[in-house]
Amino acid sequence: MKNYLELSAEVEQALKEGKPVVALESTIISHGMPYPQNVETALKVEQTIRDNGAVPATIAIIGGKLKAGCTPEEIEYLGKKGQAVIKASRRDLPVLVARKEDGATTVTTTMIIAAMAGIKVFATGGIGGVHRGAETTMDISADLEELAQTPVMVICAGAKSILDLGLTLEYLETKGVPVIGYQTEELPAFYTRHSGFKVDYRLDSPEELASAFRAKIELGLKGGMLVTNPIPEQYSMPKDVIDKAINEALRQMNEAGVHGKQCTPFLLAKVKELTGGDSLAANIELVLNNARLAAKTATALSRL
């Protein structure tokens, strides 16, 4: 494993000393936002984690190395290269490593590399899920399978609202993944706090989250835990506004014949365009909110 996995000195030291560490994905840098906002946001998220008592570990594949902890220069590199960096899921890892290529990690690959490194808590924007129309396309995100088998707590603002949220919850239930609402009983839907769907359990503090995750590990139950943390009220977009933008984006996507791994970037870009940039501002705020909760939860977990 040492031939493939490379921890930054800071992350390695923190893990050795039992200090709290929070994993961060890199797809949000290369595919989620334009430059230079992507780099500025990534560095701001790292600082937010530090401000809340934990060590950030931005995860990526650079030159075939699985990196747990990127330098500011590496984050700048990923941000400038943008969508030229391959969006790497589980299936891409062997070839990217063998070819010594770069890859931006999705929720799936961030979980894989975090688990390899021994990092238990991961903050992201929103997870993938079951796409609308999946009954005919079979388009289901690898994120759900990873949550079913990899022991990492994923803290997000719910599943992206471009998805079929009801089917996403059904899939997670089938796979035995607990869906926790942080201070809420309703599944948040990324840009908005409201979806109309219920989570499995409501927990109200980082200490409760940490205790539940530790119990899951000690019971020998495989897989991760999904914590859904609603976007702060002041940044939440009205559900009808975001639904209208999503429906129009879906119409344009089907018209353009976009499919597979290009669906999510296409839809997010269209929703941003249709909301006059409001969705991007909301995206940044919800990621920062998740980073704060992840740092506090990782800190609580390190004390157990």
Using one digit for the tens of pLDDT, what is the confidence trace for 136-165? 878 899 999 999 999 999 999 998 777 899
| Position 179, amino acid | V
Cα–Cα distance measured from residue 100 to residue 80, given in angstroms and rounded to the nearest whole number: 19
Buried residues in 75-105 as b, exposed as e (16+ CB within 10 A): bbbbbeeeeebbbbbbebbeebbeeebbbbb
CATH of domain 122-304: 3.40.1790.10
pLDDT digits (tens, 9 = 90+) for 164-197: 999 999 999 999 999 999 999 999 998 889 899 9
Instruction: Check if 1-119 and 122-304 are the same fold.
Output: yes
Q: Is 160 a catalytic residue?
A: yes
Q: How far is CA 168 from CA 42, 151, 162, 258, in A?
A: 27, 19, 11, 21
Angle between helices 107-117 and 142-149 (to 10 degrees): 20
Q: Is 25 a catalytic residue?
A: yes
Beta bridge pairs of residue 123: 24, 155
Cα–Cα distance measured from residue 63 to residue 80, given in angstroms and rounded to the nearest whole number: 16
Among 24-28, 130-134, 213-217, the least confident range: 130-134
User: pTM value?
Assistant: 0.92
Looking from the CA of 281 toward its CB, the CA atoms found within 13 Å total 9
Catalytic option among 87, 160, 270, 296: 160
**CATH superfamily of this structure's domain 1-119:** Indigoidine synthase domain (3.40.1790.10)
Q: Residue 126 — pLDDT band, cuts 50, 70, 90?
A: very high
Cα–Cα distance measured from residue 64 to residue 56, given in angstroms and rounded to the nearest whole number: 21
Domain ranges of the chain: 1-119, 122-304
Beta bridge pairs of residue 182: 203
* Cβ-proximal residues to 60 (8 Å cutoff; 6+ apart), any chain: 26, 29, 67, 70, 74, 78, 102, 103, 104, 105
Contact 210, 190 (CB under 8 A): no
Give me the chain's average pLDDT, please.
Answer: 93
What is the structure's pLDDT at 212?
Answer: 98
pLDDT digits (tens, 9 = 90+) for 98-115: 999 999 999 999 999 999
What is the structure's pLDDT at 157?
Answer: 96
Mean pLDDT of 242-260: 84
Catalytic option among 25, 46, 76, 146: 25
Contact 192, 184 (CB under 8 A): no
Q: How far is CA 65 from the centre of its chain?
A: 20
Q: How far is CA 251 from the centre of its chain?
A: 26
Cα–Cα distance measured from residue 12 to residue 9, given in angstroms and rounded to the nearest whole number: 5
- pLDDT above 80: residue 258: yes
